[in-house]
Structure 1
Amino acid sequence: MWAYSHHTSRVRYLDYSPEAFQTARREGKPVFLLISAVWCYWCKYFAQQTLESEEVSTYLNRNYLSIFVDHDRRMDLTRKYARGLPMIVLFDPAGQVRQSFAGALKKDDFLDVLKRVASDVRTNIAAAPPRRSGTEAIVIPSPVPVTLETYRRLRDETLNFLTDHLDTVHGGFGSGDKYPHAQLLGYLLGQYDATRDRRYLVAVEKSLEGILRGIYDPVEGGFFRYAEGREWRQPHYEKMLSVNASLALVFNQAHRTTQNPRYKRATEATIAYLQRTLYDARAGGFYGSQTADPDYYRLAPTERRAARKPPVNRDKVTAWNAEAVLTFLALGQSTGRKDLVDVALSTLDFMGQNLITEKGAFQLYDVKTRRGQLPGQLEPNAWAALAFLEGYRASHIEAYRQAAQRVLTYAKAELFDTARGAFVEDKDSSLALGANGIMADALIRAHRLTGRAEDLELATGVLAALGGAARALLVEDDDATIVARVADAVFYLRAYARVIEKP
């Protein structure tokens, strides 16, 4: 588990903090920031083959201040900086990004990059513009009134975007590496159910075929994180709780729509994988991931049974557990399987006992310390509120309603930025469309449960405040991350639809 053993690395790492950047500025050193994940094969390769070499580690320790970021623990920083893994960001001493890239470079190539940036910093440091003190002004997009007309325009722009970016040959979206984007597929299925427009169903079926062909594990069930190339030719073998929970839900939805038996088998095998491998039947809750191991997954089925399985990473990430709760509740209710509902409720019990306090939700449960860690992040609070509200709707267990209320009370008091009219992790962070959509959805559900007008008013205000940002996202030029960000916009659109429709 390299991502948790960086303290024993040859590279002397600091944790991400304002103080670390102040030290770099005081010493006149550039900053090497690494984002890595315990389940990531290429992160381990880069660590072992490049960073742990004597030449690279010695050069970094002498010439850079190095900062380590764990992907699963600091998803706020992952959203801010990462375009892939491992992610390398090189800053000058003033905190300005000089170079950033994703991927594992060989030792000599990485040293060349480090030396070039360090030389450039030394040459230009005297001429560099002074770093602005405090926070720079953040452009606040104009609010857009929440109306049916606005919703239809945003929905149509989203559907046009998806049509334009659909790979009609291989399935999925875009022409590069293929990610499953379950939220987009679920949204398209919902649009097909509402309109019976077969274009949406064809897009989903084409994508699901690519997913089954490219990242599905037919031996043990479950899905890998993504595949290289538009043809889904080479999977990256880590198995993530969030990916599998969201895909199980989409395949079940697709089976109910089409009656395709392959979709049903994939759903059942994925749920079985989650229960067998990632679910903690003793304490409740789901582990976060299973580490990538290409050699293991390339074995024949008979050889796999005798081989040692890839390790499971046992920290329990709040947002991913909440997503699993929503999946298991939905599947349990649609199939009549009480055991799936029981798993969901057991997970909520674990979360309520270990991850929720009067100060909101922790980012994760640390298996080593047996405690919740890293409070104050927006995404875990949004997902947790949504999961507890849905758990209460399904079970009428009062503790779940109270847990949701604690999270929402904290979020409204500590995470809401009145100047921008939306939820943020800090006053300098950009507005997260997806997390705000999830939080708005939770507030709308809380309003329908309690009748509190202030929750509906706040949700409506958030949707209005982000209306301009949503439209800009859906019409801006293409780039490497646009599909993933539009997938986040689906959460916003779903909350928007809840506001304008009658309960």
Structure 2
Amino acid sequence: MIRNIVQILLLIFLLQSCNQNNNKVTHKHTNDLIHETSPYLLQHAHNPVNWQAWKPEVLERAQKEDKPLLISIGYAACHWCHVMERECFEDEEVAQMMNENFINIKIDREERPDVDQIYMDAIQLMSGNGGWPLNIVALPDGRPFWGATYVPKDNWIKSLEQLTKLYKEDKNRVVQYANDLSNGINAINLVENNTDSGVYSLDQLEAAVTKWSQYFDNFLGGYKRAPKFMMPNNWDFLLHYATTQSKPELMKQVNTTLTRMAYGGIYDHVGGGFSRYAVDTTWHVPHFEKMLYDNGQLTSLYAKTYAVTKNELYKKVVEETIGFVKEELLDESGGFYSSLDADSLNENGELEEGAYYVWTKEELTRLLGVDFNVFQDYYNINSYGFWESDNYVLIRDKGETEIAQKHGISITELHDKMKKALQVLEKERSKRAKPRLDDKILTSWNGLMLKGLVDAYRYLGKEEYLTLALDNARFLEEEMIKKDHSLFRNHKEGKSNINAFLEDYATVIEAYLALYEVTFEDKWLEHSKSLLDYAQIHFLDDSSGMFFYTSDEDASLIRRSIETNDNVISASNSIMAKNLLKFHKLYPEEGYGDIAVRMLKNVQLNFDTSAQGYANWLHVVLYENQNFYEVAVVGENYKAMGKEIGKSYMPNSILVGSKKEGPIELLKNRDVEGETLVYVCIEGTCKLPVTTSKGALEQIKSFSE
């Protein structure tokens, strides 16, 4: 009996072993990227190309072997990166050509933005445009001499053959071109030290914004162009400017833009959250990848604009966007993942852009039944909402009153029907293959999301958002901050690596300072200041007064970049300038304000012609030309009083608080037994204290009149 049982158990074990062996995925090729953690690099770990990650020893090997570098840069959610991989990098013929003649390096631009910046500047100098995948051929020391974005297989082979021949037969010419190009790459990054001028004035700012406003799309929001990127820092500044300088036309443009983006297909009406950009002028068809950095910044923007307008649509967008981030991008550690891919498997098992998100009319009719007629009016299941191949992307363009009246129902009934319909679609969509997840955790993008959560809590008041913010802040504290107050850039599978860049410091400093303002917990202020002081020591360029993108602790590249242009993410230097101005209000003896003003003067000559490209810098212009309020709350009820004051949108202010004395001068010698007092100050000079939030807000209003 026992023998039979043993035989049966042995048979089961053998069958399981066979099944495991049969299920084991085997790969014909494996390269050095198998040792990396980046999902993008791991996607290429089984290419026949002998890819390696960017490391000093790889460049040393290239110089020893006198082989040019072939550097290919992309990211996990990049559609055309996947296309080029299928057509070129998975091809044996292409791989043989690349392996024989080049040292091949794959870079995740999100892990190594320092390298990406340099080569993006290079290709823009060479061709006038850029994008990803970004493919560069460079000398063994990293100086580029050729570049392209997406290239089909035949053209790719021809290009590499010509470059190989040129490098072998006319190397001097290649070196001369690389020298000239490197000089150009360095020249466009120079920042002149402007010591003569005063700070940009409000009159100058008004003229610059007037010129900027010529590009507004007054009907559809955003700008008169396609594709349309959301550019949250543009509308964030215009919100600040419109509210503090009484510019109703600009406020109207902010509202038009935020409403149209929320109505558009760029916003996921079923699951919440925004895609990266729209390919058209109506915000209809997105490039379907969803990035953490967009959703973090847009959470901030919509929360602030809700504080000003009390528009329920903006509140809904904040709630649903945080819901999406929590559902799809939140790691159990409290960190946030980077992105969801644009591509997902369609019903035929093939990767297709947008397959997860789009609907056919037949599907919607079947799923929604009697509510389809209302739904098709609400979300334009018609020629306006049609995309391609029988697919529709949900988009709104009508007010709810108009639709409710047409169908003879109340607004409440309309809301109920649409809520129910979207729940049906969400359940149906959950059966589809999800887009691929990039589960690396980047410090700077987490800083942006943390700031978004803080702003959502500040202006919407939901405790859940503060809980998420504190979990994320502690994750950054425990996993990304080193003992010397430096930062890691990247976290994956429990390990942090890569030294952080200036954008990591800038965004976390800003987020921690904002978190202090809603919690009054001293440690967040202390962390923020420690990171600021570290950055000042290791990133500040004494000659220009700007901050380098890379630390002096890191290996040098062909250029030590200085980032000044505000793009989809604000320039690290503009965020630092704002941080420094705010810290000056708290620590006036430290010299932070002098650094910030010097930085502003160095870039302000660009504002006349390109205000939108320096939108985040323009906050500093307003800080310097308007009253900036330091609001100190001291006493037993300091947290509740601070929360009440913080609900009001006051971009030109900083809020501090303590039960008795705090760690900064503004909080010393101000406590009175049995009282909770609010002090409204400018540069440390305060009005008489008041005992209510209403009284404090009235004092701020009277200061500005």
2:420 maps to 1:296: no
Deviations 1:125-165 (A, max 9, x none): 233455769x96764413156745x1436634652453233
Q: What is the CA-CA distance between 1:174 and the residue it aligns to?
A: 5.4
Deviates more, 1:379-388 or 1:306-315: 306-315
Please tell me the residue identity of whatever aligns with 1:52: E
Deviations 1:153-204 (A, max 9, x none): 6634652453233344643235232211011111122222123334323433
Q: What is the CA-CA distance between 1:246 and the residue it aligns to?
A: 1.3
Question: What are the residue-to-residue correspondences of 1:336-375 with 2, within 5 Å?
Answer: 336-368=461-493, 370-375=494-499
Which residue does the alignment assign to 2:192? Answer: 141
Which residue does the alignment assign to 1:88? Answer: 135
Q: CA RMSD in A?
A: 2.9
2:335 to 256, 272, 285: 285
Q: Contact 2:315–2:460 at 8 Å: present in 1 too? A: no
Q: Contact 2:75–2:81 at 8 Å: present in 1 too? A: yes
- Cα pair distance change 1:120/1:475, threshold 3 Å: farther
Which residue does the alignment assign to 1:194? Answer: 244
Question: What are the residue-to-residue correspondences of 1:366-445 with 2, within 5 Å?
Answer: 366-368=491-493, 370-426=494-550, 428-433=559-564, 434-445=571-582
Q: What is the CA-CA distance between 1:352 and the residue it aligns to?
A: 0.7
2:177 maps to 1:177: no
1:124 to 170, 181, 186: 170
Deviations 1:351-385 (A, max 9, x none): 111111244443434222x1222114111011111
SS of the residue 2:342 aligns to: coil
SS of the residue 1:126 aligns to: helix
Distance 2:511 2:589 in 1: 19
Q: Contact 2:306–2:312 at 8 Å: present in 1 too? A: yes
Which residue does the alignment assign to 1:455? Answer: 592
Deviates more, 1:249-258 or 1:182-191: 249-258
Q: What is the CA-CA distance between 1:62 and the residue it aligns to?
A: 1.2
Q: TM-score, normalised by structure 1?
A: 0.87
Distance 1:71 1:59 in 2: 24
Distance 1:237 1:432 in 2: 28
The runs of 5 or more residues in structure 1 that have no matched partner are 477-481
Which residue does the alignment assign to 1:100? Answer: 147
Which residue does the alignment assign to 1:67? Answer: 105
Distance 1:395 1:458 in 2: 28
The runs of 5 or more residues in structure 2 that have no matched partner are 1-38, 121-129, 344-353, 364-424, 553-558, 565-570, 630-705
Distance 1:174 1:10 in 2: 44
Q: How many residues matched?
A: 486
2:291 to 226, 240, 246: 240
Q: Contact 2:139–2:175 at 8 Å: present in 1 too? A: no
- Cα pair distance change 1:140/1:313, threshold 3 Å: closer
Deviates more, 1:385-394 or 1:449-458: 449-458
Q: What is the CA-CA distance between 1:65 and the residue it aligns to?
A: 1.9
Distance 1:361 1:94 in 2: 28
Please tell me the residue identity of whatever aligns with 1:351: L
Q: Contact 2:303–2:460 at 8 Å: present in 1 too? A: no
SS of the residue 1:196 aligns to: coil
SS of the residue 1:112 aligns to: helix
Please tell me the residue identity of whatever aligns with 1:9: N
Q: Contact 1:31–1:92 at 8 Å: present in 2 too? A: yes
Q: Contact 1:146–1:463 at 8 Å: present in 2 too? A: no
Which residue does the alignment assign to 1:273? Answer: 324
Distance 1:452 1:367 in 2: 40
Which residue does the alignment assign to 1:308? Answer: 433
Q: Contact 1:2–1:44 at 8 Å: present in 2 too? A: no
Distance 1:153 1:196 in 2: 14
- Cα pair distance change 1:174/1:359, threshold 3 Å: farther
SS of the residue 1:475 aligns to: coil
Q: What is the CA-CA distance between 1:221 and the residue it aligns to?
A: 0.6
Q: Contact 1:285–1:347 at 8 Å: present in 2 too? A: yes
Please tell me the residue identity of whatever aligns with 2:545: G
Q: What is the CA-CA distance between 1:93 and the residue it aligns to?
A: 5.0
SS of the residue 2:192 aligns to: coil
Q: What is the CA-CA distance between 1:238 and the residue it aligns to?
A: 1.4
Distance 2:482 2:268 in 1: 38
Which residue does the alignment assign to 2:366? Answer: none
Distance 1:110 1:158 in 2: 44
SS of the residue 1:224 aligns to: coil
Which residue does the alignment assign to 2:623? Answer: 498
SS of the residue 1:374 aligns to: strand
Deviates more, 1:373-382 or 1:303-312: 303-312
2:155 to 109, 130, 143: 109
Q: What is the CA-CA distance between 1:315 and the residue it aligns to?
A: 2.0
Deviations 1:288-312 (A, max 9, x none): 2222232112246253122232243
Distance 1:240 1:172 in 2: 19
Q: Contact 1:251–1:263 at 8 Å: present in 2 too? A: yes
Deviates more, 1:81-90 or 1:156-165: 156-165
2:521 maps to 1:471: no
Which residue does the alignment assign to 1:479? Answer: none
Distance 2:68 2:616 in 1: 38
SS of the residue 2:227 aligns to: coil
Q: Contact 1:87–1:101 at 8 Å: present in 2 too? A: yes
Distance 1:326 1:365 in 2: 18
Distance 2:41 2:428 in 1: 29
Which residue does the alignment assign to 1:76? Answer: 114
Deviations 1:431-462 (A, max 9, x none): 21221121122222223233433222232333
Deviates more, 1:115-124 or 1:271-280: 115-124
- Cα pair distance change 1:121/1:192, threshold 3 Å: same
Distance 2:563 2:338 in 1: 22
Q: What is the CA-CA distance between 1:18 and the residue it aligns to?
A: 5.1
**Greater Rg by CA:** 2
Distance 2:622 2:41 in 1: 40
SS of the residue 1:38 aligns to: coil
2:456 to 309, 328, 331: 331
Q: Contact 1:438–1:495 at 8 Å: present in 2 too? A: no
Percent of matched pairs sharing the same residue: 23
Deviations 1:413-444 (A, max 9, x none): 11111122111034832321221121122222
Please tell me the residue identity of whatever aligns with 2:609: V
SS of the residue 2:544 aligns to: coil
Deviations 1:66-114 (A, max 9, x none): 2211122112223333442222223345644333333x33222322332
Please tell me the residue identity of whatever aligns with 1:314: D
Q: What is the CA-CA distance between 1:25 and the residue it aligns to?
A: 4.6
Which residue does the alignment assign to 2:274? Answer: 223
SS of the residue 1:285 aligns to: coil
Deviations 1:479-498 (A, max 9, x none): xxx96xx1xx2222223433
Q: What is the CA-CA distance between 1:270 and the residue it aligns to?
A: 1.1
Q: Contact 1:318–1:361 at 8 Å: present in 2 too? A: no
Q: What is the CA-CA distance between 1:30 and the residue it aligns to?
A: 3.0
Distance 1:144 1:451 in 2: 22
Please tell me the residue identity of whatever aligns with 1:475: T
- Cα pair distance change 1:394/1:303, threshold 3 Å: closer
